[in-house]
Amino acid sequence: MTAEGESERKPSGQRPSVFLERQSYRRRRLTDAARLLPFLGAALFALPLLWPGLSAEGQAVPLSSAMFYIFACWGGLILVGLIFGMAARRLRTRDESETEADQWRR
Amino acid sequence: MATLNILILVCLGYVVLLFGVAFAADRMAAAGRGKWLRSPLVYTLSLSIYCTAWTFYGAVGNAARSGLEFVTIYLGPTLVMVSWWWGLRKLVRVGRSQRVTSIADLLSSRYGKSNTLAVCVTILAVLGGTPYIALQLQSITLSFSIFAEADPSGLYREGSSVFWVATGLAVFAILFGTRNLDANERHHGVVTAIALESVVKLFALLAVGVFVVWGVAGGMSPMMDRIDASEIGRWNVDAGRWTTLIFLSAAAFVCLPRMFQVMIVENDDEGHLRMAAWAFPLYLLLMSLFVVPIAVVGLDLLPEGSNPDLFVLTVPLSQGNDWLAMLSFIGGFSSATSMVIVTAMALSTMVSNHVVMPIWLNTQEGLGSISGDVRNIVLMARRVSIAVIMALGYFYYSLSGGGTALSSIGLVAFAGISQILPALVGGLFWRGATRTGALVGLTVGFVLWTYTLLLPGMGGVWMPETVMQNGLFGLGWLRPQALFGIEGMDPMVHTVMWSLSLNTVAFCITSLFSFPSPLERLQGAQFVNVFDHSATPRGWTGSVAQSEDLMIMTQRILGAGPAQEFFQTEAEQQGGRSRLPEPTPGFLNRLERELSGSVGAATAHAMIGQIVGGSSVSVEDLLAVADESAQLLEYSSQLEVKSAELSRTARKLREANTKLTQISEQKDSFLSQVSHELRTPMTSIRAFSEIMRDTKGLRGTEQTRYAAIIHDEALRLTRLLDDLLDLSVLESGQVSLNVGDDSLRSVLDRAVSSALAGTDEKLAVRRSRASERIPLHTDLDRLGQVFINLISNAQKYCESPDPILTISAHDVGGRVVIDFTDNGSGIPPEAQSMVFEKFARVGVDKAGGAGLGLAICREIMQRLGGEISYLPGQGGGAFRVSLPLAYQQAAQ
């Protein structure tokens, strides 16, 4: 009985619209991706450990290739970080303006 | 050829420029102008004090020695910045909400404002920082000496130049680092100067790099060929060192006092991290982009045995490009000075807040005897600390005499300061971390670091060769570079692995087994859940009389103006008429925060505690609060039980009331029905008897007819009264049953014959006699009465032209069920529920009986332990009688 009473009391306007939910969903997934990024970075930077060194049989990896790999990974991380930063700011500002509009509507 | 004098002039000019920039930025910030001073770009650039002279010069040296290994020092911080969402964001939020002044203050604040812990961290930081400062002095001196060698005419003396450099840096740090007392206020001047310096050093290194690649090597692809052809041209990095150094630099990036200063304390806005997260790694990438080319070209061009740490300077010089060399010198100078200034500032804050002030407070007995302006004392303590730290660096440099490879000193400092990491990370993410755990972990890590890395590095008296070979006290498993007998590891990897892992283990185990104080637990919750609540739950209580004391003390620390302003604002917020605010817990908390910005959390806590009389939160208080709430909970649950009982009782009462009302209504309607039923025959009896009395000359036939009517009505009256009597006897339960044995068939036989006897209306009764052979043990006469009633009902009310009554009997699990179904129209649904009520008649027109028959049947069946019900949907009127085969007393 109480449950019914509560659901009756709750005004229907409090339920966020599908659009807003989708927004915050996107933002959460973006945060997830940003959190996973360091692990990707660590894995990429750990990869050279598998390369054959000077002591190993056969040809060691030339330093220029090694440099290219490291700096490419590094640059990639920076780029993805930049994209995340920009996307996060855009989503946040849009979100803020929307909640404001929401308050007015209410 | 640039002479030494020109160099010194340029150098001095650069320093004057820095002074000017710092001064102007401070002025602008004070005037409220210059929003760009607080921009994320300046914040990101200020982070670049991570790149000291060690990385400016030493990275090239490192690359010349061990190839790409130098890059680990940049990869660690890159990973930390990329993972800002995990850690840095929280650290910055905590730093801002708790107004921490240094990393020692942060740990002290987290672990119950323990000053012991703060002192430990301070000692560790000073021990790690001093060689680091010496390293910067050494790099400046070395770069000077390069120019001095090229200019034999100059009067260059190494010792004096170091002294003057150290003095100059100290003056700069004192001038701009201790302008305002509140370490939590941003040092806009210093930060802006550092940002400028970081641009200069990046520009310098890039310029040298571009010169080397395009000026010396002749483009990208010849450069790449040259790299592969050089002696470091193959990937040859020790896996252990690679991983360890990335981890170590990441740890040091967070724990270094100077990094903490610019990253957390000087942070203006959490949002700046978002830009720094990608921009600072970009800065690091640019800084390391040309390191390998410079190293390779240096190895090619310069004679065997020249110091690779100085290739950044010597390569342009050897090519005769003096101005580029000058620029590169300024870059190195920038790296060194910015690092030294910030480190000195951060360390001096720690030393003055956690060592000098507590000692000074202890020597003063009570508050009453504190005289003079505490503000000046704090500032003086900070200035002296800066001077002392610089002096320590200078003496360390003089004693060690330089010579060790730059990067090794830097790594030793990294390993030392990283010992803070377990306590820091544990404090931020684990509520169970305790002060004892942090102290034990720090001590274990510090001892191991000193024994396995710091002392062996210093050698000589500090670490005799016998100990190195045979271990302490001749114990083989205590050899500094082969602990527990595990040999062959790189010394750095060895130290980092053992010290940090044992540090962490000790920290965790001790935390698990120790118990934190209430204040510690409250602070722990504040730190770990900083995003949930940024307000403080701990409270002070005080009386009005103490406000004046607080005012006096605050004036001494913050200065008269700011203190009065603060108190005035608070008083206005409280809405009181007095100029002094009431010492409410909220006010005391804000005051403590304000003071902790100047003198550190532990000291501020102690000072307010001196006046207000100790922390108001004790275990007893917490227990009392817990008891109270437990009592409240119990009381409310009791209330709940009682109210549930009350509502149950009320419901029962309501039900009883409804029943009573219904019964009363039934009684009323019964009485009116009965009187109505009695009145009808009575009226006719009276009427006809009056006719017979008053009418003269009635004929005999008429007399007989009237008398017959009177007789019939009297009979009807008698029958009604008999029925009523019967019903009331049955209802009252006073009926005595005459229980006998017979078969159902004979009971039905009798009932059918007596019901059909003496009537004209024909009713065909269909029975299956075989199934009626059921023995019964019950009151046979009463049961027969029920059957008679049902059969005569069918006879009376069945509208079919050929009325047929079907009687079927079944034995269903110890009960006999008899259905009486006729082929009439049955009882309309709305009347079905009423047929068993008294005086209920279906259809007024067919007035046959008083409407008591079925009511009596129902009562009889209840007495016999059975029931009678109407069966809807049988194609006609249908009644079902069910009763137990053997009547039992209990069935009543």
Q: Is residue B858 part of a domain?
A: yes
Domain ranges of chain A: 21-48+63-106
Clarify whether residues B749 and B834 are in a common domain: yes
Q: Which residue of B has its CA nearest to A58?
A: B234
Give the model's pLDDT for residue A22: 66
Contact B82 A77 (CB under 8 A): yes
The CATH number given to whatever domain includes residue B237 is 1.20.1730.10
Which residues share a beta bridge with B742?
B776
Clarify whether residues B198 and B56 are in a common domain: yes
3-state secondary structure of B365: coil
Q: Which residue of A has its CA nearest to B81?
A: A38
Least confident of B79-93, B315-329, B355-369, B868-882: B355-369
Q: Is residue B806 part of a domain?
A: yes
**Which candidate, B588, B590, B593, B594, places its Cα nearest to that of B612?**
B588
Q: What is the DSSP letter of B852?
A: -
CA R_g for chain A: 24
Query: B892 near B809, Cβ under 8 Å?
Result: no
Q: Find the mean pLDDT for residues B330-349.
A: 84
Query: B355 near B603, Cβ under 8 Å?
Result: no
**Tokens describing residue B511:** 């935390």
Q: How many domains is chain B built from?
A: 4
Percentage of chain B lying above the pLDDT 70 cut: 83
Phi, psi of B616 (to 5 degrees): -80, -15
Residue B316 vs residues B146, B186, B190, B313, B324: alpha-carbon distances, Å: 12, 39, 31, 6, 6
* A104: confidence class by pLDDT, cuts 50, 70, 90: very low
Residue B99 vs residues B186, B593, B597, B832, B852: alpha-carbon distances, Å: 12, 6, 6, 83, 93
Higher pLDDT, B107 or B152: B107
- State the virtual CA torsion across B541, B544, B550, B552 in degrees, nearest 10: -170
Clarify whether residues B782 and B680 are in a common domain: no
Helix B291-301 crosses helix B220-229 at what angle (to 10 degrees)? 60
**Tokens describing residue A77:** 């991380």
What is the per-residue pLDDT across B109-147, written as a single tens digit (0 to 9) for each? 888 777 888 888 888 888 888 878 888 888 888 787 777
Clarify whether residues B687 and B815 are in a common domain: no
Q: Which residue of B has its CA nearest to A46?
A: B243
Residues 28-67 in B contacting A (C-alpha not used; CB under 8 Å): 67
Q: Does A47 touch chain B (CB under 8 A)?
A: no
What is the per-residue pLDDT across B862-887, written as a single tens digit (0 to 9) for each? 888 888 888 887 778 888 888 888 87
**From CA B418, how far away is CA B251, in angstroms rounded?**
6
Higher pLDDT, B351 or B626: B351
What is the per-residue pLDDT across B179-232, written as a single tens digit (0 to 9) for each? 655 545 567 777 888 888 889 888 988 888 888 888 877 777 887 777 777 777
Clarify whether residues B273 and B197 are in a common domain: yes
* B847: confidence class by pLDDT, cuts 50, 70, 90: very low
Clarify whether residues B46 and B127 are in a common domain: yes
* B654: confidence class by pLDDT, cuts 50, 70, 90: very high
**Which candidate, B196, B208, B210, B216, places its Cα nearest to that of B325?**
B208
**Tokens describing residue B412:** 């030793």
Query: B205 near B70, Cβ under 8 Å?
Result: no
CA R_g for chain B: 53
* A90: confidence class by pLDDT, cuts 50, 70, 90: confident
pLDDT exceeds cutoff 80 at B700: yes
What single letter denotes the amino acid at residue B680? T
Q: What is the DSSP letter of B48?
A: G
Q: Find the mean pLDDT for residues B802-813.
A: 86
What single letter denotes the amino acid at residue B126? V
> For residue B224, which residues of chain A lie inside 8 Å, CB to CB?
64
Query: B47 near B287, Cβ under 8 Å?
Result: no
The C-alpha of A86 sits at a distance from chain B's nearest C-alpha, in angstroms, of 8
Clarify whether residues B701 and B612 are in a common domain: no
Phi, psi of B880 (to 5 degrees): -120, 130
Clarify whether residues B320 and B385 are in a common domain: yes
Instruction: Tell me what the pLDDT averaged over chain B comes to.
Output: 79
Q: What is the DSSP string of B392-451?
A: HHHHHHHHH-S-S-HHHHHHHHHHHHGGGHHHHHHHHH-TT--HHHHHHHHHHHHHHHII
Query: B858 near B786, Cβ under 8 Å?
Result: no
Q: Is B878 exposed, middle or buried (0-12, 13-18, 19+ CB in 10 A)?
A: buried
Which residues share a beta bridge with B812?
B815
Query: B339 near B324, Cβ under 8 Å?
Result: no
Phi-psi region of B39 (alpha: psi -120 to 50; beta: other; left: phi over 0): beta
**Which candidate, B745, B805, B732, B804, places its Cα nearest to that of B772?**
B745
Q: Which of A29, A63, A79, A92 to mutate to test the interface with B (most CBs of B within 10 A)?
A: A63
Q: What is the DSSP letter of B533?
A: -
3-state secondary structure of A36: helix
pLDDT exceeds cutoff 90 at B651: yes
Residue B336 vs residues B132, B355, B368: alpha-carbon distances, Å: 10, 27, 45
Residues 696-755 in B contacting A (C-alpha not used; CB under 8 Å): none
pLDDT exceeds cutoff 90 at B644: yes
Q: Find the mean pLDDT for residues B469-495.
A: 72
* B779: confidence class by pLDDT, cuts 50, 70, 90: confident
Q: Is residue B68 part of a domain?
A: yes
Q: Find the mean pLDDT for residues A45-52.
A: 80
* A77: confidence class by pLDDT, cuts 50, 70, 90: confident
> For residue A45, which residues of chain B lie inside 8 Å, CB to CB?
75, 79, 246
Clarify whether residues B184 and B292 are in a common domain: yes
Clarify whether residues B605 and B640 are in a common domain: no
Higher pLDDT, B151 or B646: B646
User: What distance lies between CA B765 and its chain's CA centroid?
Assistant: 83
Contact A37 B82 (CB under 8 A): yes
Query: B380 near B413, Cβ under 8 Å?
Result: no
Query: B265 near B191, Cβ under 8 Å?
Result: no
Strand-pair category, B878-884 with B815-822: antiparallel
The C-alpha of A54 sits at a distance from chain B's nearest C-alpha, in angstroms, of 6
pLDDT exceeds cutoff 60 at B892: no
> What burial letters (b/e) apply to B510-530, b meaning 16+ CB within 10 Å?
bbeeeebbbbbbbbbebbbeb
Give the model's pLDDT for residue A13: 43
Least confident of B62-66, B119-123, B172-176, B752-756: B172-176
**Tokens describing residue A9:** 């009391």
Q: Find the mean pLDDT for residues B473-487.
A: 69
Q: What is the DSSP string of B126-173?
A: HHHHHHHHHHHHHHHHHHHHHHHHH-TTS---HHHHHHHHHHHHHHHH
- State the virtual CA torsion across B467, B471, B474, B475 in degrees, nearest 10: 170
Clarify whether residues B807 and B859 are in a common domain: yes
* B713: confidence class by pLDDT, cuts 50, 70, 90: confident
Give the model's pLDDT for residue B657: 92
Contact A63 B243 (CB under 8 A): no
The CATH number given to whatever domain includes residue B856 is 3.30.565.10
- Number of Cβ atoms within 10 Å of the Cβ of B614: 11
Q: Which residues contact B716 (CB under 8 A, 6 or more apart)?
A: B681
Q: Which residues contact B579 (CB under 8 A, 6 or more apart)?
A: B567, B568, B571
Give the model's pLDDT for residue B369: 43
Higher pLDDT, B537 or B475: B475
Q: What is the DSSP string of B666-729?
A: HHHHHHHHHHHHHHHHHHHHHHHHHHHHH-SS--HHHHHHHHHHHHHHHHHHHHHHHHHHHHHH
- State the virtual CA torsion across B687, B690, B695, B701 in degrees, nearest 10: 60
Give the model's pLDDT for residue B6: 79
Query: B177 near B383, Cβ under 8 Å?
Result: no
Question: Which ipTM score applies to this complex?
Answer: 0.75
The CATH number given to whatever domain includes residue B712 is 1.10.287.130
Q: Which residues contact B133 (CB under 8 A, 6 or more apart)?
A: B340, B343, B344, B389, B390, B392, B393, B396
The pTM score is 0.64
Give the model's pLDDT for residue B600: 67
Q: Which of B237, B274, B493 to mutate to test the interface with A (most CBs of A within 10 A)?
A: B274
**From CA B879, how far away is CA B250, in angstroms rounded?**
92
* A105: confidence class by pLDDT, cuts 50, 70, 90: very low
Question: DSSP alpha helices (H): ranges in B514-580?
Answer: 518-528, 545-558, 560-574
**Tokens describing residue B92:** 């910055």
Give the model's pLDDT for residue A5: 39
- Number of Cβ atoms within 10 Å of the Cβ of B420: 32
Out of A53, A64, A74, closest to residue B224 by CB: A64
The whole domain housing B871 covers 737-891
Q: Dmax over Cα atoms in chain A, in whole Å?
A: 79
